[in-house]
Amino acid sequence: MMLWVINLLGLLLLGLIIWWFWGVRPQVKAMPATQPIEVLVADGVYVPAFIGVPAGQGVTLHFLRKDPSPCAEKVIFAGLGISADLALNSHTEVTLPPLAVGEYEFTCQMQMYRGRLKVTQEM
């Protein structure tokens, strides 16, 4: 009987640990569409790499490229047919048209840098 309770507690604890580590959702950065969203390009990652934006509004992203490697010189929104050359150590403005609800990936040309735009209805 006692052993059964201990097993159950162990299982609960395991569930809690799994929930703690895998249940945490990536941080969504939501901002009004009128305000440009800053995206840092450095050390192989976009920061933030996960950006929430409202549907049906144009979005302006400001990419600040700190990575001198040629890998980081382009950002490509494959699903939208939009790409831009990023100048080193300065801001590059990328304006996206009003988007439909969904997720849109953006990457460098070799897809080492990866980010996602999550477009949701009215936030």
Q: What is the binding site for Cu ion (CB under 5 A)?
A: 71, 108, 110, 112
Question: What residues are paired with 117 via a beta bridge?
Answer: 51, 104
Nearer to Cu ion, 33 or 76 (CB): 76
**Residue closer to Cu ion (CB basis): 47 or 71:** 71
Q: Which residues pair with 114 in a beta bridge?
A: 107
Instruction: Give min distance, CB of 82 to Cu ion, in A.
Output: 17
As measured in angstroms, the least distance from the Cβ of 116 to Cu ion is 16
Smallest gap, in angstroms, from Cβ of residue 111 to Cu ion? 7
Cβ 117 vs Cβ 57: under 8 Å: no
CA contacts within 13 A on the Cβ side of 61: 31
| φ/ψ (deg, to 5) at 39 | -125, 120
Nearer to Cu ion, 59 or 108 (CB): 108
